[in-house]
Amino acid sequence: MARYRIIAVLGLAILVSACAAQVPTAVEQGADVPGFWWGLWHGFVFPFAWIGSLFNPEIAVYSVPNNGGWYDFGFFLGITVLGGGSAFSSKKRKK
């Protein structure tokens, strides 16, 4: 029974993710368009930018337009690796 539930949830997740698409105007190429390194930086400062965006509408947590996949990858790494990610919860606690 649990196997069918897992298969159903995974199938639903794949079905929903198939509907996702990136807006073509959000992806650009050029020297002044944020790429991997800016994505890494934006991911690292995400908690501070998010708090700032609550009080100032001119602060954004994600840069649009960007160069697409590389910016997204840098943003993901910035949040997970530089931002701590799950490393804090995975450390063994001393008794």
DSSP 68: S
List per-residue pLDDT tens for the chain, 95 residues long: 788 888 998 888 888 776 666 666 656 677 778 888 888 988 888 888 899 999 998 888 888 888 778 888 888 898 888 666 555 555 565 55
**How far is 80 from 4, CA to CA, in rounded Å?**
31
Which amino acid makes up residue 31?
A: A
β-sheet bridge partners, residue 27: 66
